[in-house]
Amino acid sequence: MSDHKQEALAGESFCACSADPSRRALLAATAGLGAAAGIGAAVPFVASFTPSDRARAAGAPVEVDLSGLRPGEKLVVEWQGKPVWILRRTPEMLAGLKTLDDKLVDPGSSAAEQPAYVSGEARSIAGKEEFFVCVGICTHLGCSPSDKFATGADSGMGEGWKGGFLCPCHGSMFDLAGRVFKSMPAPTNLVIPPHTYLSDTRLLIGQDSKGA
């Protein structure tokens, strides 16, 4: 075939491609989808570095609404990447705490990690004893204990059980103030984070009334 004829055929082929409206539309659509996919993939990446997320990762305080928390219920929120429990204890739950001193490693929480303004067997801020706030991580090897709020024989924890928490990993038991029982793997009571009440129904975790 002559060079002239080959050039002519190549020209016709190129013209056919460039002149075909449906093919141009397909190419445009494909390019658009590729761009959209790129944008979609970037959104989660960008969102993971927003200022609010960085603040939370750095331990920014977390405000919690307590208005819907009923007596006997527990709420779990995240602070510094850890679960924080807020348990609203009933009068019966609080009364049970007074009977356990001889069964606990540190009933007065003298060796526990907790703010100085948290006191008593309830391990709460004065006037807010019904609310128990703690980091829901066992002080043994970092598992998260399970709720065991039922009492007595129905609890499966023994006739004298007053309610509390059981670590499923190695069996450490804690009462409803996060105090560890004797002869358990966990060496200390559950940790209580800094916190303060902004109102009767608003709790701020990660900062106390002095801004610490």
- What is the rounded distance in angstroms from the CA atom of residue 23 to the CA atom of residue 120? 78
Which single residue is written with the structure tokens 């850890």?
82
- What is the rounded distance in angstroms from the CA atom of residue 99 to the CA atom of residue 95? 8
Radius of gyration of the chain (CA): 31
19: left (phi over 0), alpha (psi -120 to 50) or beta: alpha
Tell me: the pLDDT tens digits for 168-187? Answer: 999 999 999 999 999 999 99
- What is the rounded distance in angstroms from the CA atom of residue 21 to the CA atom of residue 127? 77
For residue 88, which phi and psi values (nearest 5 degrees)? -95, 105
Q: Which residue has the higher pLDDT, 78 or 39?
A: 78
Q: Which of 20-34, 92-106, 123-137 has the lowest mean pLDDT?
A: 20-34
Asked if the model's pLDDT at residue 129 lies above 90, the reply is: yes
Asked if the model's pLDDT at residue 202 lies above 50, the reply is: yes
* Domain layout of the chain by residue ranges: 3-47, 61-205
Asked if the model's pLDDT at residue 156 lies above 60, the reply is: yes
Asked if the model's pLDDT at residue 40 lies above 90, the reply is: no
Q: What is residue 209's predicted lDDT score, i.e. its pLDDT?
A: 81
**CATH assignment of 61-205, among 3.20.20.140, 2.102.10.10, 3.40.630.10, 3.20.190.10:** 2.102.10.10
Asked if the model's pLDDT at residue 115 lies above 60, the reply is: yes
Asked if the model's pLDDT at residue 75 lies above 60, the reply is: yes
Q: What is residue 128's predicted lDDT score, i.e. its pLDDT?
A: 97
Tell me: the pLDDT tens digits for 43-71? Answer: 333 333 344 555 555 578 999 999 999 99
Q: Residue 154: which pLDDT band, with cuts at 50, 70 and 90?
A: confident
Q: Which residues are catalytic?
A: 170
Average pLDDT over residues 68-79: 97
DSSP the chain: --HHHHHHHHHHHHHHHHH-HHHHHHHHHHHHHHHHHHHHHHHHHHHTT-HHHHHHHTT--EEEE-TT--TT-EEEEEETTEEEEEEE--HHHHHHHTT-GGGBS-TT-TTS---TTEETTTTEETT-TTEEEEE-S-TTTS--PEEE---GGGGTS-TT---EEE-TTT--EEETT-PBBTT-S--SPPP---EEESSSSEEEES--TT--
Q: What is residue 57's predicted lDDT score, i.e. its pLDDT?
A: 56
Instruction: Using the CB atoms, write b or e for 81-97: b if 16+ within 10 Å.
Output: eeebbbbbbbeebbebb
